[in-house]
Amino acid sequence: MKAGLIPYLILMVVLLGLLSGLMTANRDSQAAASGNATRGEVIFRKGMNEAPPCITCHALSEGVYSLGPVLAGVRERAGNRVEGLSEADYLQQSIVEPTAFIVSGYRPIMFPAYAEHLSEQDLRDVIAFLLTL
């Protein structure tokens, strides 16, 4: 191999590394982007596949009675709840595995079986909606 090629090879490796880093960072925004927030809001308000609507327990604005946490502004706190979980990952965990992290001041009474009632797309849509709040 010509010695002159080596710097180019190194450059390629560095660029590929940067690119894959960027792609991981983008995963969350892509997860949100692949969800349909409008459809997610319908699931939130009406439920899906016989699972209870989220709105039964989660108000969307302060000052309204809410059995679970009011979800206005949940996007801002989602990324700080659990070390190592991004906003979208935390929201997903909150829905499919609600007892994994219990919000302080609340009891673990969230409907536990959304993972069985919501499809992957339903979940993506609900998460996309939550990310608009």
Give the residue from 104, 112, 129 showing the smallest Cα distance to 40: 129
By CB under 6 A, name the one of 60, 72, 82, 103 that touches ligand HEC: 103
By CB under 6 A, name the one of 42, 59, 60, 111 that touches ligand HEC: 111
* Whole-angstrom distance, CA of residue 94 vs CA of residue 106: 13
Q: Output the six-digit token pair for 18.
A: 């940067």
Of the two residues 21 and 73, which places its CB atom closer to ligand HEC in the complex? 73
Counting contacts by CB under 6 A, is residue 35 touching ligand HEC? no
Q: Output the six-digit token pair for 115.
A: 């993972």
By CB under 6 A, name the one of 52, 72, 75, 82 that touches ligand HEC: 52
Of the two residues 6 and 64, which places its CB atom closer to ligand HEC in the complex? 64
* Whole-angstrom distance, CA of residue 91 vs CA of residue 35: 13
Of the two residues 37 and 94, which places its CB atom closer to ligand HEC in the complex? 94
Q: Output the six-digit token pair for 116.
A: 């069985």
Angle subtended at Cα 31 by Cα 26 and Cα 34, rounded to the nearest 5 degrees: 115
Summarize as ranges the residues that interact with ligand HEC (CB under 6 A): 52, 54, 56-58, 67-69, 74, 77, 81, 91, 94-95, 98, 102-103, 106, 108-111, 114, 126
